[in-house]
Amino acid sequence: MIDRFGEVLNGNRTFYLGRGQPPLLPWSVENYLAAKPKDEDLALRAYPSLIREYNDYWNGSGHATPIGLSTCRDSGSNDGLSPAEDAECETGLDFTPIFAGDVRRCVPLHINVALVRYAQVLGALADRFGWHDKAAAWRRQADERAARINQYCWDDKEGFYFEYDYVAGKRLPCYSLNGFWPLWGGIASKGQARRVVDHLKLFDHPYGLTFTDRDYPNPHPNYPALEWAYPEAWPPQQIIVAMALRRYGYEKEARAVSRRYVANVVTTWEQTGLTWERYNGVSGGHKVPFERADPAPLHGFSSAAAVVVGRVAFA
């Protein structure tokens, strides 16, 4: 996809003409090579393609900002949405209150943490090939982005990471599970991690971690259903938080929140025979309040999360 279109696509090319998918392909490459360490062909195949997406797409003029972090934009998808809505779709969080209605003004936490990992994977690949100067340069890029995330997105008074509006020069007020991504990426200090974990109780409910800590006002008047919000427990975010907690040694907390989520997935599967795109972390099951759209059945990341989070739950 990168070689043909310049990015990993957000969806079918005939429909989503202008946006990519959150930049997690390098993490997949890293995990694959950990399982298949002798696959030099894959490593050599991946390296130049990943460089193209990293440099030309995510750090190109369409996504660059004056503060050295990346935003999300859309160059013209054929789906009838507004430009601001299209851009938010590129974050994967369509739709959510955390960007105050226009992500183009923001530097999304999860995107930029993923780009830190992107540069780290490129560095590891360069080291694998013996290109140590190139590897050092990739690591410097990763470190510089991590420092900017801590500069702009860390709120020392609140002890949490927030989305940053680079146009207004301020952090946005919504608490979300995106605040755990810097722990997943390993760019938080131990002290920062402890303070972030202190906020886990804001999201921890009997049936999973809700994406936001409360039901925030909706900044998208055309879309009454905010899906990436309270009380939805989204499978990918359960993975990220579980891994984030384990990375900093919070094994007990990781097991506890993972067990509650997995129990709901299993119970709901027993009742419906399906896995679902998202779940209700507050009341259980997969249904959401009447004013929101119901989720669709989904295999994909829902089944993957059941496995990954299940391993954490019963490690």
Give the confidence band of 290 by pLDDT, cuts at 50, 70, 90.
low
Q: Is residue 184 assigned to a domain?
A: no
The span from the first CA to the last CA of the chain, in angstroms, equals 36
Full domain range(s) for residue 33? 1-175
Same domain, 283 and 218: yes
Residue 166 φ/ψ region, left for φ over 0, alpha for ψ in the -120 to 50 degree band, beta for the rest: alpha
Instruction: Tell me, yes or no, whether 171 and 203 share the same domain.
Output: no
93 with 139, same domain: the answer is yes
Tell me: do 91 and 164 sit in the same domain: yes
Q: In sequence order, what are the residues at sequence separation of 6 or more whose Cβ sits closer than 8 angstroms to the Cβ of residue 236?
A: 301, 305
Regarding whether 88 and 211 lie in a shared domain, the answer is no
Residues 85 and 206 in one domain: no
**pTM of the full structure:** 0.97
Give how many domains the chain has, as a whole number: 2
Q: Are 282 and 204 in contact (CB under 8 A)?
A: no
Give a yes or no: residue 190 inside a domain: no
C-alpha–C-alpha distance, residues 190 and 192, integer Å:
5
The secondary element (H helix, E strand) that includes residue 150 is helix 132-153
Tens digits of per-residue pLDDT, 249-271? Answer: 999 999 999 999 999 999 999 99
Mean pLDDT of the chain: 95
Task: Output the domain CATH number for residue 60.
Answer: 1.50.10.10
Which residues, in sequence order, are CB contacts of 84 under 8 Å at separation 6+?
101, 102, 103, 104
180 falls within a domain:
no
Task: Tell me what percent of the residues of the chain surpass a pLDDT of 90.
Answer: 90
Average pLDDT estimate for 126-143: 98
Q: Are 179 and 160 in contact (CB under 8 A)?
A: yes
Is residue 121 within 8 A of residue 259, CB to CB? The reply is no
- Domain termination site, one of 175, 191, 219: 175
The predicted-structure confidence for 195-216, as pLDDT tens digits, reads as follows 999 999 999 999 999 999 999 9
- Regarding whether 309 and 268 lie in a shared domain, the answer is yes
Whether residue 85 sits in one domain with residue 28: yes
